[in-house]
């Protein structure tokens, strides 16, 4: 079998993607926390036996490039993997992103072959891996929600190196107990971890169903062909853009410790169907928690180029083969331990996308691929965590959410309003779900009209969500674009910055972008998210 069948290639693309999609359905429907079952803050993926990602469901972009590093870390940690094993990890410096993102990795082995009453082959041969990653709304640390304004990773929660949560299908109860003893909401964490175990089990089952139908040889062949196919299309895209080198710089507002803006610089060089992405000149790693590990930078690069390829291209590791990434160690985009990294996954990833798109917008070959780079979107995930004791339900609670905002306008369309953009693909939590699970009352939930930048096409508008607390709680904010605007393109105006407002005892006070504060019953937290940049001059 030396020449692939394009029809069968398309079939296998969907078969592998369906495994990941079904894993996601199981995880969503089995989970306990609103963050997973309502916001859908999770990803599931399928890998070959060399840890190349073959397919990922349409879940969270920030997980795209980083999940293979988690699988690699699991494989490197254990040379004795067996059927029924499940590896758990969240260490950002060993394949993770930030501590709330817990990854479960399951190897997939062939089953013994039985003919009649006899087993003819008792060997278990590795076929590949399946993995699930979910953002858990609390994993310990100095503040509820484990997204603190921290100075080192040890303040952010429990660190889990690659460890066997299940061995041969048997749960490591001691490990589970240790994890649950370090979180504020153990029942919810237990339920969400069990949901991930169930998702991985379903992924293994579906992978083996494919093996039983098509056999290892054919599956392995089309895994390799899917990687090659995506690589060819990526190289074709780069060739059409032509040769060139362009740079761009944008800034994070601050790291929550210092008030100084933090530069992220990138130079994009394209030559003969390959690209070099160089982040040299970006800020050194910071004291605050906006540091990104290499996995985050890798994911942002993957996301940008994968987005430019179009919807029908497989989500796999082949996209990165023509791309070299230079991210010097010890910088904001490749931090060393024990740097604080809680916000790098959610905020710095967004700005990395902004600078990449700003550099790519300067290339002149976009008419060759019928694509144009849009203006900047809101550039933040607007992270809010609220935790305390719920007197109405008689238990601890932790609420975590990211909130959508304005999308940047394009060369022939206005930016959509009130959506999550770029490195997040979650939903906004419904008002009914919030008020059902937490001691809150949602007073306002609406678009921020005219917060998008004007232009020939206007940027999308942000969101306003006003939350009234019904009990005292600790609130942590990790938000961006509160000082520096999302840029417009081709003469379009920038979008408006966001605002964090506290109304307490009738007085209105502006909060910083990063803060951890104690609020009382009756206080109102108003989150007003940024708009997207406009595109083109107003005629």
Residue 274 is assigned to a structural domain of this protein: no
Q: What is the pLDDT of residues 299-350, one digit of tens each?
A: 999 999 999 988 788 889 999 999 999 999 999 999 999 999 999 999 999 9
Per-residue confidence band for 113, with pLDDT thresholds at 50, 70 and 90 = low
pLDDT at 121: 56
pLDDT tens per residue across span 138-174: 999 999 999 999 999 999 999 999 999 999 999 999 9
Q: Is residue 308 part of a domain?
A: no
pLDDT for res 1: 44
Q: What is the pTM (predicted TM-score) of this model?
A: 0.95
For the chain, how many structural domains are there in total? 2
Q: Which of 529, 530, 195, 188 is nearest to 387 (CA)?
A: 188
- 78 found inside a domain: yes
User: Other CB atoms closer than 10 Å to residue 80's CB: what's the count?
Assistant: 7
Residue 322 counted as domain residue: no
d(CA 390, CA 24): 30
Averaged over 494-502, what is the pLDDT?
A: 98
Mean pLDDT of 475-504: 98
Q: In what order do the strands lie in the sheet with 262-271?
A: 244-252, 262-271, 274-278, 323-326
- Looking at residue 407, its pLDDT comes to 98
d(CA 419, CA 73): 33
Check residue 221 and give its pLDDT: 96
403 pLDDT above the threshold of 80: yes
Which one of 211, 232, 253 terminates a domain? 232
> 192 lies in which domain range?
6-232
Question: Looking at residues 241-245, what average pLDDT do you find?
Answer: 92
- Kindly state whether residue 118 falls inside one of the protein's structural domains: yes
d(CA 482, CA 528): 10
C-alpha angle 310-312-318 in degrees, rounded to nearest 5: 80
- 521: helix, strand or coil: coil
Q: 390: exposed, middle or buried (C-beta count within 10 Å: 0-12, 13-18, 19+)? A: middle
DSSP H helical segments within 50-171, as ranges?
A: 67-77
Peptide linkage before 489 cis (omega within 30 of 0): no
Residue ending a domain, choose from 193, 216, 232 = 232
Looking at the domain assignment, is residue 13 inside a domain? Answer: yes
pLDDT tens figures, 438-467: 999 999 999 999 999 999 999 999 999 999
Task: Tell me: pLDDT of 515 over 70.
Answer: yes
Tokens of 213: 């139908």
pLDDT of residue 117: 52
User: Do the domain assignments include residue 164?
Assistant: yes
- The predicted pLDDT at position 242 comes to 87
Radius of gyration of the chain, Cα coordinates, nearest whole angstrom: 23
pLDDT digits (tens, 9 = 90+) for 247-273: 999 999 999 999 999 999 999 999 989
Domain end point (choices 203, 232, 261): 232
Kindly give the pairing relationship between strand 42-48 and strand 163-167.
unpaired
d(CA 249, CA 352): 9
For residue 312, is it within any domain? no
d(CA 89, CA 131): 11
């Amino acid at each position: 079998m030396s020449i692939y069948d394009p029809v069968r290639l398309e079939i296998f693309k969907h078969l592998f993607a369906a495994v990941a999609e079904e894993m996601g359905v199981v995880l969503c429907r089995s989970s306990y926390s609103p963050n997973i079952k309502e916001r859908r803050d999770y990803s599931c993926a399928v890998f070959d036996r060399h840890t190349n990602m073959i397919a990922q469901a349409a879940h969270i972009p920030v997980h795209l490039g980083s999940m293979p590093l988690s699988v690699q870390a699991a494989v490197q940690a254990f040379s004795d993997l067996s059927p029924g094993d499940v590896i758990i990890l969240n260490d950002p410096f060993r394949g993770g992103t930030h501590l709330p993102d817990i990854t479960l990795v399951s190897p997939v082995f062939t089953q013994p072959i039985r003919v009649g009453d006899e087993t003819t082959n008792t060997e278990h041969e590795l076929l590949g891996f399946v993995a699930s990653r979910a953002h858990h709304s609390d994993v310990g640390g100095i503040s509820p929600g484990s997204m603190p304004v921290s100075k080192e990773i040890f303040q952010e929660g429990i660190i889990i190196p690659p460890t066997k949560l299940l061995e041969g299908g048997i749960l490591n109860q001691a490990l589970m107990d240790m994890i649950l003893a370090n979180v504020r909401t153990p029942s919810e964490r237990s339920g969400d971890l069990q949901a991930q175990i169930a998702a991985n089990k379903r992924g293994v089952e579906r992978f083996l169903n494919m093996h039983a139908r098509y056999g290892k040889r054919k599956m392995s062949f089309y895994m390799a062909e899917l990687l090659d196919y995506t690589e060819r299309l990526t190289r074709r895209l780069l060739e059409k853009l032509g040769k060139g080198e362009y740079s761009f710089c944008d800034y994070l507002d601050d790291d929550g410790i210092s008030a100084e803006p933090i530069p992220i610089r990138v130079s994009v060089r394209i030559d003969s169907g390959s690209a070099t992405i160089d982040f040299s000149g970006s800020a050194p790693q910071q004291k605050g928690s906006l540091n990104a590990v290499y996995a985050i930078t890798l994911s942002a690069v993957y996301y940008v180029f994968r987005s430019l390829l179009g919807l029908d291209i497989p989500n796999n590791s082949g996209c990165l083969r023509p791309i070299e990434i230079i991210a010097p160690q010890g910088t904001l985009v490749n931090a060393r331990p024990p740097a604080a990294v809680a916000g790098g996954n959610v905020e710095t990833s967004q700005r990395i996308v902004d600078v990449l798109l700003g550099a790519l917008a300067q290339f002149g070959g976009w008419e060759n691929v019928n694509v144009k780079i849009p203006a900047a979107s809101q550039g933040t995930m607007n992270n809010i965590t609220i935790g305390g004791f719920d007197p109405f339900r008689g238990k601890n609670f932790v609420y975590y959410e990211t909130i959508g905002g304005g999308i940047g306008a394009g060369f022939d369309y206005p930016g959509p309003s009130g959506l999550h953009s770029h490195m997040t693909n979650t939903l906004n939590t419904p008002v009914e779900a919030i008020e059902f699970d937490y001691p809150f009352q949602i007073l306002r939930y609406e678009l921020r009209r005219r917060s998008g930048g004007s232009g020939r096409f206007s940027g999308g508008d942000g969101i306003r969500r006003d939350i009234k607390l019904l009990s005292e709680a600790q609130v942590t904010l990790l938000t961006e674009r509160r000082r520096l605007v999302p840029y417009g393109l081709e003469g379009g105006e920038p979008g408006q910055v966001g605002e964090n407002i506290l109304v307490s005892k009738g007085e209105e006070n502006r909060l910083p972008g990063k803060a951890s504060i104690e609020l009382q019953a009756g206080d109102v937290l108003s989150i007003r998210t940024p708009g997207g940049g406009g595109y083109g001059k107003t005629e």
